[in-house]
Amino acid sequence: MPSKVVVAGVGMIPFAKPGASAAYHEMGAEAGRLALADAGLGYDAIEQAYAGFVYGASAAGQKAIYRLGMTGIPIVNVNNNCSTGSTALFLARQAIASGVADCVLALGFEQMKRARSARPSPTGRARSRISTRSRIGWSKPKAFPSRSDISAARALLT
C-alpha cells in the first residue's frame, strides 16, 4: 500500500453570481482539463473519478467527466452537502492509499440558481396568518381548531 498520496494538479474556474455561470457540466469539464494540464497528464492516465456536487441530476458527474473523455473508468457521484468537495477528495485519496488505483481525479462543481424573492407557502396559509396577525394582533387564526373542537375530537376517540 502506498504510504504517500500527492495532489499532482489543481484546476479552478472563476465563481460567478447565480444565473451567470456556464452549465455545470461545462464548468466541471473545464476544471478537470485545468487540473490535468497542471499535473502534466492526459485523461487516459485517470483510473477512477469522484465528482462532487449537490444541486444536479443523479449522473451529473458522468455528464461533466464524459466531456474529458470516455474511457470506461468508474465515476462515483458524491453528494454530502457542505462537505461534498472534501468527501470527493477523501475518497480519491482512499482509492490511491488502498492500492485500488494509481491515478484518480477528484472534481467538484456546482451551479447555483437565482432564488425567487417571493416563495409561496406550501400550505397556502402562512400569508393569511401573517396578515391576520398584523391587523388584529396575536389572536388565534381561524384555521386552528378551538378548545371545544379539540375536546369534541378527544371524546370521539375515547
- What CA–CA distance (Å, rounded) separates 53 from 86? 11
| Domains of the chain by start residue, with CATH | 24-108 (3.40.47.10), 126-157 (no CATH)
- The strand ranges marked E within 8-74 are 48-52
What pLDDT is attached to residue 13?
87
Prediction pTM value:
0.70
- What CA–CA distance (Å, rounded) separates 135 from 2? 70
What pLDDT is attached to residue 149?
65
Judging by beta carbons within 10 Å of its beta carbon (0-12, 13-18, 19+), is residue 108 exposed, middle or buried?
A: buried
What pLDDT is attached to residue 122?
54
Q: Cell match 466541471: residue?
A: 28
- Across the beta sheet with 75-78, the strand order is 75-78, 48-52, 104-108
Tens-digit pLDDT string for the chain (158 aa): 556 899 999 999 887 887 788 888 999 999 999 999 999 999 999 999 999 999 888 999 999 999 999 999 999 999 998 899 999 999 999 999 999 999 999 999 887 776 665 555 555 555 444 444 444 444 444 555 566 666 766 666 65
